[in-house]
Amino acid sequence: MAERRDIVIIGGGHNGLVTAFYLAKAGFKPLVIERREQVGGAAITDEFHPGFRCSTLAHTAGPIRPDIVRELQLEKHGLKLITPEVSVTALTPEGRALSLYQDASKSAQGISAFSQKDAAKYPEFQQSLGKMGGVIAQALATTPPNIDHPSGGDLWSMLTTGRAIRNLGKKDMYRLLRWGPMAVADLAAEYFETELLRAVVAARGIFGTFLGPWSAGSALVLLIRAAGDAQPAGSAYLAAGGMGALTQAMASAAKAAGAEIRTGADVIEIRVKDGAATGVLLSTGEEMSARAVISNADPKRTLLQLTDPLHLSPDFVQKLQHYRGNGTVAKVNLALSGLPKFTALQNGDGAALKGRIHIGNEIDYLERAFDESKYGNFSRRPYLEATIPSLTDPTLAPEGKHVMSIYMQYAPYKLKGDWESQRRALGQTVVQTLAQYAPNLPEMILTHQIITPLDLEEKYGMTGGQIFHGELALDQFFTMRPLLDWARYRTPIQNLYLCGSGTHPGVGLTGGSGANAAREILKELKR
C-alpha cells in the first residue's frame, strides 16, 4: 500500500526548498525528495581535492530576493553572504585591467583611465537600470496573468505594473520599451565607447544563454538581471562556505517550518489517474500518494520523462518538445598551490580578484565565441567568468592555497562528436585561455574538475545541460515560460505543479520561481 503524504516536492534545489518553506509555514507538511545525497541542485559545495572545497556549479547568487532572505531568516540558519567591494575585474590580453565596484563613483574613477566620457555615462546608465529594474522586479514577483480569462487579481497586477511604468517618466519608459528587444551589444554601444566596458556589460545579457551579444533580445536578459542588481556589469554575491551554504540554510529553514527532506531517493515516475497526479514512484519500488505533487525539475523532465506523455494532449507535447533548452555552459574548478599572478595586476592587488574575473575583452570576441557553438564546436577562445572564493573565505582551501571556479562559454550541449572524448580538450582550452592573463597559472594547478553540459544533464538532472531549465529569451519569458497558457505554475495534469527555474521568472539563484509557485499553489490547496 502506498505511503500517504500531504505534498511531495520533487527535487531539493533552491526553488524546491523555498516552495517547501512557504507551504510548511502555511500549515502543510511537504516532503522534499532529492535524488542526490545532498540538497542544493545547482547551488552546492563539494570537496573535489583533499582540503579543497568549491561551489561545484553556481559560484554566485542571483542575488536571492531580499524578502526571501528575510522571511526564511537565512542568516539565523547560518547563511553569511559576502559582497566584495570589487564586483568584477575585466582583463585585456595587453595587460590592462578595469575594476568595477559596488560604488558607482569608484567605478567611474576606474573607467576614467579608459575614457572620461564613459566615466561620466556610467552612473547615468546605472541609475536608469535601477529605475527600470525596480519596475521589472515587481513583474518578476507576480504571477503571469491568464491571458484569455484574467481574474480581478490579474487585472490589478497589470494595472499596478502599468502605473509603475508610467511613473518612470517619459525618457525611461521609452527606454524600457525600446531596450527589451535590442541586442545588448547595441545597447552597450549607445552608452560607452570603451570596448572592454562594452564587453563586460554585454556579457551580463548573454551569460547562460544560447545568445551572442548581437542577438536580438539579449538586452532583455540584462534588464531582467537588473531587477535584482542595478550594477551594469553585475555584482558578486558569494556565500561563506560556498553556495552550498545557501541551500543548507534554506533546508534548515524549511525543516524548522515543518517540512521534511529526504535525500538519496530518486523519483522515477509521477503517478497519474483520471487526469490528476496521485503520487510518485521511487527507484526502490516505494510508492507515495499525495494530495499534490510539485516538481522542481525542469518542465521537459517533469512532463515528458517523469510523467507518461499519454496523459497530455498531442498539441501540448509538441509545444513542450520545442521548448528550447540546450545548454551552453561548462564548469572548470581548479585546486591551486598558490595565488596566480595576473599580468594586469602586477602590484599584487588581491582585492581586484575577490569579485568576478571577466575574460572577453571586446564585443567581437564574445560574438566569435558564440559563433563556434552554433556549429557544434566548443569555443577555442571562450568567454570566461571566474572567481577565487578562497580569497574571501580561506576555509575553502589549505593555508596559502586557493580554489578557482570558472564558467566557460560557449560549450554547446549538442557537440560534434561526444563530450567524453572532448572533456580534456575543454579543460586545456580554459587553462590556456587564462594563462594568457596569468602566465604562471598552469604550473600552480594541483588538480581540476571538469563539468560538461552532458554532466549537467546526467549527474545534476538539467535536461540539455541548461542551467536555467530553459532558454532565457523573449519568446520564453513571463506569460510564455515555459509555454503560453501554462505560465502560472500549473500543468495540464491536475494536482501537478512546477516550481523550478523553467517557470517565471527563472533567472538563476533568486528564489523567485519557488516563492511565486508557493503562493499560487497555496491558493489552489486552500480551495
pLDDT by residue (tens digit) across 182-196?
999 999 999 999 999
Q: What is the mean pLDDT of the chain?
A: 95
Residue 155 pLDDT: 73
Distance of CA 341 to the CA centre of its chain: 29
β-strand pairing of 30-34 with 260-263: parallel
What is the C-alpha separation between 450 and 48, in angstroms, rounded? 10
The reply to whether the predicted model has a pTM over 0.85 is yes
Q: What is the CATH number of domain 3-80+243-323+465-526?
A: 3.50.50.60
The grid coordinates of residue 93 equal 590580453
Q: Are strands 3-10 and 287-295 parallel, antiparallel or unpaired?
A: parallel
Copy the grid coordinates of residue 461.
538532472
Lowest mean pLDDT among 124-128, 325-329, 345-349, 388-392: 345-349
Band (pLDDT 50/70/90 cuts) for residue 348 is low
pLDDT at 33 exceeding the cut of 80: yes
Domain boundaries, the chain: 3-80+243-323+465-526
pLDDT for 350-364, tens place per residue?
Answer: 889 999 999 999 999
Asked if residue 235 has pLDDT above 80, the reply is yes
Task: Record the cell numbers describing residue 158, joined without a space.
Answer: 497589470
Over residues 214-224, the mean pLDDT reads 96
Question: Which pLDDT tens digit goes with each residue over 495-511?
Answer: 999 999 999 999 889 99
Q: At residue 464, does pLDDT exceed 80? A: yes
pLDDT above 80: residue 159: no
- In this prediction, what percent of the chain has a pLDDT beyond 90? 91
pLDDT of residue 349: 65
pLDDT of residue 425: 97
Whole-angstrom CA distances from 388 to 22, 89, 121, 238, 402 are 34, 12, 30, 10, 7
Mean pLDDT is lowest, of 148-157, 364-373, 432-441, for: 148-157
Residue (of 438, 469, 495) closest to 289 by Cα position: 495
Q: What is the pLDDT of residue 237?
A: 94
